[in-house]
Amino acid sequence: MPLELPPDLMVSVSGVRGRVGDPLTPELVAGLAASFGAFLREETGRDTVLLGRDSRTSGPMLSAAAAAGLQSVGVQVVRLGIVPTPTLLLAVEDREAAGGIAVSASHNPAEWNALKFCGSEGTFLDGDATEAFHRFRASQDPPRAPWDRLGEVEEDREAVATHVDRILSLREVDVEGLRERKLRVALDCVHGAGGVIMPRLLEALGCRMAGIGLETDGRFPRDPEPAAEHLEALGELVRESDADVGLAVDPDVDRLS
């Protein structure tokens, strides 16, 4: 039977999101991933989907469910692990994959999680593509692969390094100028995915860093939205470390303050 969505699941062009356990369950995630994988293959003729997540404690469970759903329709899965959402988007484009799924509720509280759907161009689905996917999902049960044609899983732990290298190669980034300045930077990664990329990037730019929330354990010590009213601890760190600038990101590093 076609997959029906719970009425309290939030559905938008940003994907689907909800509180973990109710309405966002592993069973629902597996079903959505299966439908998305089958949809992408029909639309693109490709059969590889990349999967990344932020650091939320529900991430391993829901990522495993998403991978199982994709495998069940014969889609090849590339697991990136904990990565910023922009890193996933770049990797989809670089690999010429069918698309990607980010398991992340972005700046929402820790009890929430979400699936963000990415197309083959390394961008989130637009309104038309989102509508097309949900029409596909609501119209049919995705065709399941037989035992000898299930999708396989590949691990890729180089996506972050590739992303950093790409940033350093941008003409707009004066790498040597920044290295000469040796900026002092105070950094708050809120125990999210920023911990796997921001220190690495700042080091490559020759910055001297003082950081908080660098552990990727998903236990957010503040509201994960990096708005000024939530960054008191970062302000204190800026003053204590005599930093030139303070930077804060949200759990999947698509917001920066």
Please write the tens of the pLDDT for every residue from 2-19.
999 999 999 999 899 999
Residue 231 confidence (pLDDT) above 90? yes
CATH number of 170-248: 3.40.120.10
In the three-class reduction of DSSP (H, G, I as helix; E, B as strand; rest coil), residue 237 is classed as helix
pLDDT band at 1 (very low <50, low <70, confident <90, very high): confident
User: Which token pair is 48?
Assistant: 């590889």
Rounded to two decimals, the pTM is: 0.97
- CA 38 to mean position of chain CA atoms: 21
| Identity at 137, one-letter amino acid code | R
CA atoms of 40 and 45, how far apart (whole Å): 7
Contacting residues for 79 by C-beta, under 8 A, at least 6 apart: 51, 52, 63, 67, 153, 154, 155, 156
Please write the tens of the pLDDT for every residue from 158-181.
999 999 999 999 999 999 999 999
CATH for 10-157, options being 3.40.50.300, 3.40.50.620, 3.40.120.10, 3.40.50.9100: 3.40.120.10
With pLDDT > 90 as the criterion, what percentage of the chain qualifies? 99
Structural contact between residues 141 and 32, judged by C-beta atoms closer than 8 angstroms? no
In the three-class reduction of DSSP (H, G, I as helix; E, B as strand; rest coil), residue 10 is classed as strand
pLDDT of residue 58: 99
128 CB burial (10 A radius; 0-12, 13-18, 19+) = exposed
Is 58 an active-site residue?
no
Please write the tens of the pLDDT for every residue from 211-220.
999 999 999 9
pLDDT of residue 14: 84
Q: Calculate mean pLDDT across residues 66-89.
A: 99
Query: In the chain, which segments carry CATH 3.40.120.10?
Result: 10-157, 170-248
Please write the tens of the pLDDT for every residue from 27-76.
999 999 999 999 999 999 999 999 999 999 999 999 999 999 999 999 99
Q: Calculate mean pLDDT across residues 83-106.
A: 99
Out of 72, 104, 106, 120, pick the active-site residue.
Answer: 106
